Structure 1
Amino acid sequence: MKSSNVFPTFHVAVASILGYLNYEYNMRKSYTLASELKFYKEVNVGQVKGQQLMDAGSVTFSKESGLDFGKAMGFRDGDTYCVAPITNGDANLLVYDFWAIGRERCVWRLSPDRHPEKFSRQEDLMSPDRL
Structure 2
Amino acid sequence: AALAAGAVLGNNYWWTGVAKYNEYQQMANYVNVDPSVDKGTSFMDAGSVYFKEGSSVDLTKAIAFRNGLTYCVAPIYSEPLEGTGNERKTAAGFVIPKSGTLDFWAVGTDCCGTTGTPFQCHDATSPFARSGLRIVEDNHKAMYQLAVQEWTATTGIPARNPLFFQWVVDPIAVEEHYRSLSSNSMFKLTCGYGIAAFFIAYVLHMVFRHFKVL
TM-score, normalised via structure 2 length: 0.38
Mapped partners of 1:95, 1:71: distance in 2: 16
> What do residues 48-99 of structure 1 show as CA deviations (whole Å, max 9, x unaligned)?
1110011111111112111223432102334321101111131531310111
Unaligned runs of 5+ in 2: 1-5, 82-94, 133-165, 175-214
* Structure 1 SS opposite 2:65: strand
1:48-87 map, 5 Å: 48-87=38-77
Distance in 1 (CA, whole Å) between partners of 2:40 and 2:117 is: 27
2:125 to 110, 117, 125: 117
- The residue identity in structure 2 corresponding to 1:126 is W
Q: How many residues align?
A: 101
Deviation at 1:118, TM superposition (A): 4.2
CA contact (8 A) 1:43 1:62 kept: yes
Is the counterpart of residue 105 in structure 1 residue 114 in structure 2? no
| Structure 1 contact 40–60 (Cα < 8 Å) conserved | yes
Would you say the 8 A contact 1:66–1:89 is kept in 2?
Answer: no
Residue matched to 2:167: 126
Higher strand residue share: 1
CA RMSD in angstroms, aligned pairs only: 3.5
How far apart, in 1, do the equivalents of 2:73 and 2:46 lie?
Answer: 19
Counterpart position of 1:4: none
Unpaired segments ≥5 residues, structure 1: 1-17
Identity over aligned pairs, percent: 32
Rate the CA distance shift 1:37–1:117 in 2: closer, same or farther, 3 A.
closer
Aligned positions of 1:16-27 closer than 5 A: none
What TM-score do the two structures reach when normalised by structure 1? 0.58
Larger RCO, structure (CA 8 Å, separation 6 or more): 2
